[in-house]
Amino acid sequence: MHQISKQLDFESFFDSLESKLSCKWEEIFQSSKLIKVIKSGEISRTLYVIYMIETFHYTQHNARNQALVGTRKDVSAVYAKFCYSHAADEVGHEKMALHDVRSIGLNCAEKEIPEPLLETQILIAYLYWISCTGNPLQRLGYSYWAENCYKYINPVIEQLKQTLRLEASQLTFFLAHSDIDKDHFEDVKNTIRRTCRTQADMEAIIGVMETTLQLTASIFNGVYVEYENLMQGNSSKYAFLLNT
Amino acid sequence: MHQISKQLDFESFFDSLESKLSCKWEEIFQSSKLIKVIKSGEISRTLYVIYMIETFHYTQHNARNQALVGTRKDVSAVYAKFCYSHAADEVGHEKMALHDVRSIGLNCAEKEIPEPLLETQILIAYLYWISCTGNPLQRLGYSYWAENCYKYINPVIEQLKQTLRLEASQLTFFLAHSDIDKDHFEDVKNTIRRTCRTQADMEAIIGVMETTLQLTASIFNGVYVEYENLMQGNSSKYAFLLNT
Amino acid sequence: MHQISKQLDFESFFDSLESKLSCKWEEIFQSSKLIKVIKSGEISRTLYVIYMIETFHYTQHNARNQALVGTRKDVSAVYAKFCYSHAADEVGHEKMALHDVRSIGLNCAEKEIPEPLLETQILIAYLYWISCTGNPLQRLGYSYWAENCYKYINPVIEQLKQTLRLEASQLTFFLAHSDIDKDHFEDVKNTIRRTCRTQADMEAIIGVMETTLQLTASIFNGVYVEYENLMQGNSSKYAFLLNT
Amino acid sequence: MHQISKQLDFESFFDSLESKLSCKWEEIFQSSKLIKVIKSGEISRTLYVIYMIETFHYTQHNARNQALVGTRKDVSAVYAKFCYSHAADEVGHEKMALHDVRSIGLNCAEKEIPEPLLETQILIAYLYWISCTGNPLQRLGYSYWAENCYKYINPVIEQLKQTLRLEASQLTFFLAHSDIDKDHFEDVKNTIRRTCRTQADMEAIIGVMETTLQLTASIFNGVYVEYENLMQGNSSKYAFLLNT
């Protein structure tokens, strides 16, 4: 029942992950109004600020839920070390998201930031859930796509930068990640090679990869709907943005 | 009530920690039969093995409880990063303790190792407790003495090495720590400088430093009593050592 | 900022909760294909079984997340007692869901039951999340609608019973709850009266009430889509149902 | 290896628990200065207040750690229900301890109460530890002696009552428990009968019974030492008692 690791073909596994990711991103790019409005050069600062505040929210929890995986009794030393090291690298990244929106005029204290949208809360809750229960390796599925998303989203960020006339110093969140994540992605793959032992491990990674990318796409949609509501005067959460 | 950090005199604080530690170690060296039997060159392999197995037990939890501190909502990014980095450095150190006792003849699988003595369970339970509740900075009190104990215990280890005729390769646990811990100790002091802000923070660190050193001394005593019981035929826990 | 409880008008609050619930259920009844297919007398046993297995999954966690609220440091004795008592009353209810589907022919061991659908996982993860963080009173919002749903769903259950020709002894999950929940609902309202002190408490309850009902409606949809996929030969998760 | 429950002889098991408890209490009565000073009619109000404040501290956590056992994945429905019901019954009992010392003149707000002594912290930490890890049935060992201690300690309480001239209304903590605990003790035994299945379960219960009673005896000692220090002007923790 438990296949031995040497029989697992990791390179085919990574190929299959890439192909799933490629399809999923394609689907997101086709259906996401947030992505479309960025690509067409029509995004407003307000919409971007809403997106970055939601990003701030979930980013705040990434180091925490990553570290929690390492504290489980059912993890190897190799995997625990990966979890803690990556957690150390992710600490405080939410502050970059906040810095970036402040650099374009958001002027509110951290405690005045509204609560996360439901879609964002769901991603946060789900990440704690899959970090604390189930196959402990499954969180690698989140890292796999998150540390490897820049080839998909760089053109979108580039367009965003032009439309909103942002300096590199105003895009610290995306640029810092796009730098760090090259090494991180290699770490993720090496950790998968060193820790996955069974088909069930691989399936758990695939499951969380697909689910967390989909929940992130749901945040894109939630952000867009919130923005539309705000423009129609129906959002109380983000109404403070209209006064700034 | 809350003093501002700039008014805190960290160098005096560290001096006072050193002087407390110096007294406490002196007291332990005076009263601990385990230490005395090592210093007098009379320690047996069996007694050393019991001590190292108990060390194995609590060491197993150090990375975990260290990482848990970082996941709390009431910690700064600087402190969370310290917690995760140190946790990453501590992962798997219990395996060195096990390696060392195996190198001198212990021949049992990890799952055959007996449950920790009560004194060891108490240190483990207490470390989780002070890591998950109370002032989050207080766990620095444990790191402060643990990363800084070699100037006190090196002569003891040296004597142990001679008595039991151990090679350096059989003392990986102590030697690895004595190396790593120089840098770690500087990190601990820097983290205290960067994160402590109030008298209450300092007192919390002192409290946990004194308590965890005392609980460690209790393990020394528990180990010695267990050894005496074993020699008198009254220990079922470690009886398997007599057959090896 | 914090209103005193005596100024809170609980009866108006409950009226407003009822009116929100009534709208939300109306909306669910309009849009849910699962509900429509039950109401039209066309539900198949297979679709019902899928729904009950997903119900089994999240029900398993209700006592746990309810009890966890009581263990938080920021709850009153009154509220902690409510949490533990209700948890005690909810223990093992998932077994009734399983009993009911077994009574109509499901023949698989508990460990052979497939993992929950994503929508079900999201409700589970969200309930732990809102139980362990945020305003501790907010979980009352989940109890409020869950202990008070029978006036909305009884006609649906009645139709289900007729279509599938179920005996009362095969509907233990719904019938037991519909009995217990009258008292429970009074408890929930009394607990709100005794513990809510601020407008923020009330808003937290409203938020979780609306969100968890919506996430439950998402399970209805997830179940229906899964069923459609199964009928089209595209579900591997529930394929085992076709062979029974 | 795993004995079947029907082969377990619970009545002999309870007899052996009683005989262990009887010995242990005998030993405590012989060695505890706190008990001696009560029995000899020499206890002062101050010493009693220190004891009750430490009792207040650990009692505060009993419902919480009891409930946490029920939330574990490795417990049966029968045992989870016991855990939550008992937790519900234990909620807020620490307030009785506080009421009793207030009734004899302690005049301080709850937040002015000093932190628990180390011995008390150790019991608290240990109870969380054995509730969250290891054999989940082991916490029954704590309940076993705690719900069954009145036959041992009633004469001590009676003497205390006379010496300090306390009304029944000033001994609510002990009297309420001594009432409730008769039923509770039967529940504990029934739960052991219904849930213990192996020799290992029984040993885990014995281990925690002996350990937690010993840690409670350590609190007696810690309280007495603290009182002596206070009388000699060496306790800062409880110095406020001298001014009341």
Q: Which of D84, D94, D96, D180 to mutate to test the interface with C (most CBs of C within 10 A)?
A: D84
| The two structure tokens encoding residue B53 | 């197995």
Cβ of residue B3 closer than 8 Å to a chain D Cβ: no
Interface of B with D in 208-227 (CB under 8 A): 211, 214
Listing DSSP states for B174-218 in one string gives HHHHHHHHHHHHHHHHHHHHHH--SHHHHHHHHHHHHHHHHHHHH
Instruction: Give the pLDDT confidence score for residue D14 in this predicted structure.
Output: 97
Each residue's pLDDT tens digit, A48-89: 999 999 999 999 999 999 999 999 999 999 999 999 999 999
pLDDT band at residue B216 under the 50/70/90 scheme: very high
Cβ of residue B118 closer than 8 Å to a chain D Cβ: yes
Q: Is there a contact between C167 and C129 (Cβ–Cβ < 8 Å)?
A: no
Instruction: Give the pLDDT confidence score for residue D183 in this predicted structure.
Output: 86
Instruction: Give the pLDDT confidence score for residue A200 in this predicted structure.
Output: 95
Query: Helices B199-231 and B45-70 meet at what angle, rounded to 10?
Result: 150
Cβ of residue C20 closer than 8 Å to a chain D Cβ: no
* Distances, alpha carbon B207 to alpha carbons A79, B87, B125, B142, B211, in Å: 33, 22, 16, 9, 6
Instruction: Give the pLDDT confidence score for residue C3 in this predicted structure.
Output: 46
Instruction: Give the pLDDT confidence score for residue A235 in this predicted structure.
Output: 75
pLDDT band at residue A110 under the 50/70/90 scheme: confident
Three-class DSSP labels, A15-57: HHHHHHHHHHHHHHHHHCHHHHHHHCCCCCHHHHHHHHHHHHH
Each residue's pLDDT tens digit, B133-185: 999 999 999 999 999 998 899 999 999 999 999 999 999 999 877 777 778 89
pLDDT band at residue D181 under the 50/70/90 scheme: confident
Kindly report each contact of residues A181-186 with a partner whose C-beta sits within 8 Å and lies 24 or more positions away, as own/partner: A181/A146, A181/A147, A181/A148, A181/A149, A181/A150, A184/A86, A184/A89, A184/A143, A184/A147, A185/A144, A185/A147, A185/A148
Each residue's pLDDT tens digit, D96-153: 999 999 999 888 888 889 999 999 999 999 999 999 999 999 999 999 999 999 889 9
Each residue's pLDDT tens digit, D78-92: 999 999 999 999 999
For chains B and D, count residue pairs whose Cβ atoms are closer than 8 Å.
30
Range from A99-113, A178-192, C44-58 that averages highest in pLDDT: C44-58
Q: Quote the Cα angle for C205-C210-C213, to 5°.
A: 120
Each residue's pLDDT tens digit, B26-50: 999 999 999 999 999 999 999 999 9
Percent of chain B with pLDDT over 90: 85
CB–CB contact B126 D121 (8 Å): yes
DSSP label at residue B106: -
Percent of chain C with pLDDT over 90: 85
Instruction: Give the pLDDT confidence score for residue B60 in this predicted structure.
Output: 96
Percent of chain B with pLDDT over 70: 97
In this complex, the chains that touch C, judged by 3 or more CB pairs closer than 8 A, are A, D
| Mean pLDDT on D162-172 | 94
Instruction: Give the pLDDT confidence score for residue A1 in this predicted structure.
Output: 41
Cβ of residue B97 closer than 8 Å to a chain A Cβ: no
* Terminal-residue alpha carbon distance, chain A: 60
Contacts of D118 in chain B (CB under 8 A): 211, 214
Percent of chain A with pLDDT over 70: 97
How far apart are alpha carbons D91 and C78 in whole angstroms?
8
Instruction: Select from B118, B126, B214 the Cβ nearest to the Cβ of D125.
Output: B126
Kindly report the average pLDDT of chain D as a whole number.
93
| Mean pLDDT on A154-160 | 95
Q: Is there a contact between C212 and C128 (Cβ–Cβ < 8 Å)?
A: no
DSSP label at residue C66: H
CB–CB contact A125 C121 (8 Å): no
* Alpha carbon D96 to chain centroid, angstroms: 14
Kindly report the average pLDDT of chain C as a whole number.
93
Q: What is the pTM of this model?
A: 0.95
Q: Which of D59, D91, D95, D124 to mutate to test the interface with C (most CBs of C within 10 A)?
A: D91
| Mean pLDDT on D66-70 | 98
For chains A and B, count residue pairs whose Cβ atoms are closer than 8 Å.
58
Each residue's pLDDT tens digit, C199-240: 999 999 999 999 999 999 999 999 999 999 999 998 778 999
Instruction: Give the pLDDT confidence score for residue D8 in this predicted structure.
Output: 85
CB–CB contact B129 D121 (8 Å): yes
Q: What residue of A is the nearest CA neighbor of B77?
A: A92
- What ipTM goes with this model? 0.94
| Mean pLDDT on D44-73 | 97
Q: What residue of A is the nearest CA neighbor of C132?
A: A125
Contacts of D129 in chain B (CB under 8 A): 121, 124-125, 128-129
CB–CB contact A129 C118 (8 Å): no
